[in-house]
Amino acid sequence: MSYQEAEIQKLLDERAITRVLHAYCRAVDRLDEDLLVSTYHPDSYDDHGVFKGNGQEFARFCIKALKERTLATSHRMSNIMIDLEGRDARSESYVIARHLVESDGVQKLETAGARYIDQFSQREGQWKIASRVVVVDWGKVEDINQLFPGFDRYNQGTRWPDDLVYDKDR
């Protein structure tokens, strides 16, 4: 393989890993359990603080917990650094996780600044998470006193399968 071909393959692998990271965020925010499970290898490991164990089992735990506890969530990922070594990779991704919850009739926004420290592996041509450790850097909770003007005139986000992103006719 030429240098140029190797660099192109590196870009393709980095893009594939980035798509897995983005799919993970979509799956969590839309509560799409099948998609979330698909981001992990069957023998993967996830240390999410409140859960330490198999990644695919974490996916099921996560969806159930978010359905029971949150009204909506939003995960924003940035500063993605990927180091490739053949069919293995290590990545660090910054994430801002926001959870809308309701307590005693008051809506609150829980926000955490964290990083995902991941080990990826490519098996059967697919990159997936082999191991994840979540590192929390900061967090806060704030009351929501009012929504921004015109909020109710926008299409409202929902969860799987009703969210607009799953409408194949759009």
Domains of the chain: residue spans and CATH = 3-157 (3.10.450.50)
| Whether 80 contacts 21, CB under 8 Å | yes
pTM for the whole structure:
0.94
> What is the Cα Rg of the chain in Å?
18
The single residue listed with the structure tokens 């609150």 is 108
pLDDT score of 154 more than 90: no
pLDDT tens by residue, 81-138 = 999 999 999 999 999 999 999 988 899 999 999 999 999 999 999 999 999 999 999 9
pLDDT tens by residue, 25-82 = 999 999 999 999 999 999 999 999 999 999 999 999 999 999 999 999 999 999 999 9
